Chain A
């Protein structure tokens, strides 16, 4: 007997959706709500947290002591943000985040993770050869800087506080936040230099 050909992913997704709806186990409105929920979770949230930490020493202290509460002060909380820990880069130590076994991420402050973060390539390699991976991704670290790779194997969700770039004295929080990309919040890039 010939093996049946695999249905397309669009058809398979539609099949699960239709079957759940027909049985009344979910409503179209439930699915619509959940499909749009990720719009509130974005790296701009994490960038705003970093900019606040760079400009407000009291907030920075609160963020390092209890990032869940500090992020909530700015309104960032929700699923996959139940226990957030902020990792502050120093001139001697760089931090980078991964989830080798699935793709856990602090959704409220980083957003749903990008494809590269979920790729087998990143998950397999960054724990074992972080410097080579970072260099390929455009971040060439000096051998003097230590690299700490944080594996998201339990319920802690991490965010990186990158080093504040030189030449940004007097910048507004908004201008500072614009320098912090999702990649910087994960630790595969530095905050951008001001233009």
Chain B
């Protein structure tokens, strides 16, 4: 989905604040939220990691931007536990003693119609274009590279295709490629000609570019 999570290249954000000697968790609830996220996937087996990432993407955008990282972790996890029938929203709210904001529902037609690519179509050095898809569900081709042409630097092993893993359908694995885009192809007129962005992209997000 073209959601608030797809932040790459978005303008208007300010300076990055760093903390020296930052602890892994600042507050005990953050460690609990992390543990609940992990346990929901590996013990309860309520949902998989792709569904989990998408549940965070479905948060109300204003809440998403204001929330601490572990608040997003908790919200995404709780939303799926409710959607999968393990917990009820009313019970959570009653226990918490106030409103418990959950993620918005999955879109009715969440997936782009992409042909499965079970055999690798590309090799190192190939020029490829990212398809200009904008499905309403989970997709891991960031907006900033869609429609752009880059060069394959490396072919990685096969991994589960996230769009179908997040939304049901026949699970499949495809190779991913480290595709290098010149920064000035992504944002013409900006930056340095020496700079590039490398995006890790599943085979079926790509098409060949004829030279």
Chain A residues within an 8 Å CB radius of B7 = 100-101, 120, 123-124
Q: Chain A: how many interface residues by the 8 Å CB criterion?
A: 74
Q: How far is the CA of A116 from the CA of B13 in the complex (A)?
A: 13
Decide yes or no: A5 and B99 within 8 Å by CB, A26-B39, A34-B35 being known contacts: yes
Cross-interface CB contact of B6 among A3, A100, A137, cutoff 8 Å: A100
Asked whether A7 lies within 8 Å of B86 as measured between CB atoms, the reply is no
Cross-interface CB contact of B9 among A30, A31, A124, A131, cutoff 8 Å: A124
In this assembly, does A55 line the interface, its C-beta being within 8 Å of a C-beta of chain B?
no
**Chain B: which residue is nearest A113 at the CB level?**
B69
Asked whether B156 lies within 8 Å of A83 as measured between CB atoms, the reply is yes
Chain B residues within an 8 Å CB radius of A3 = 99
In this assembly, does A178 line the interface, its C-beta being within 8 Å of a C-beta of chain B?
no
Cross-interface CB contact of A19 among B24, B43, B95, B192, cutoff 8 Å: B95
Asked whether A149 lies within 8 Å of B29 as measured between CB atoms, the reply is no
Q: How far is the CA of A121 from the CA of B9 in the complex (A)?
A: 10
Asked whether A153 lies within 8 Å of B196 as measured between CB atoms, the reply is no
Decide yes or no: A26 and B192 within 8 Å by CB, A4-B99, A155-B159 being known contacts: no
A1-41 contact mask (Cβ, 8 Å, vs B): 1 or 0: 00111111111111111111001011000111111111100
B4-20 contact mask (Cβ, 8 Å, vs A): 1 or 0: 01111111011111110
In this assembly, does B100 line the interface, its C-beta being within 8 Å of a C-beta of chain A?
yes
Asked whether A115 lies within 8 Å of B22 as measured between CB atoms, the reply is yes
Interface size class of B (residues with CB under 8 A): 35 or more
* Minimum Cβ distance to chain B for residue A30 (Å): 5
Which residues of A are interface residues toward B (Cβ below 8 A)? 3-20, 23, 25-26, 30-39, 83, 85, 98, 100-103, 111-112, 114-116, 118-125, 127-131, 133, 136-137, 143-156, 183
**Chain A: which residue is nearest B157 at the CB level?**
A83
Cross-interface CB contact of B92 among A15, A128, A137, A148, cutoff 8 Å: A15
Q: How far is the CA of A156 from the CA of B96 in the complex (A)?
A: 38
Asked whether A15 lies within 8 Å of B192 as measured between CB atoms, the reply is no
Chain A residues within an 8 Å CB radius of B91 = 19
In this assembly, does B77 line the interface, its C-beta being within 8 Å of a C-beta of chain A?
yes
B177-211 contact mask (Cβ, 8 Å, vs A): 1 or 0: 01010010011001110111111111000000000
Chain B residues within an 8 Å CB radius of A130 = 183, 191, 195
Cross-interface CB contact of B15 among A14, A32, A121, A144, cutoff 8 Å: A121
Chain A residues within an 8 Å CB radius of B199 = 151, 153
Top 7 closest pairs, chain A to chain B, by CB: A7-B98, A100-B8, A7-B96, A15-B95, A154-B200, A34-B35, A146-B194
Q: How far is the CA of A17 from the CA of B29 in the complex (A)?
A: 10
Asked whether B192 lies within 8 Å of A143 as measured between CB atoms, the reply is yes
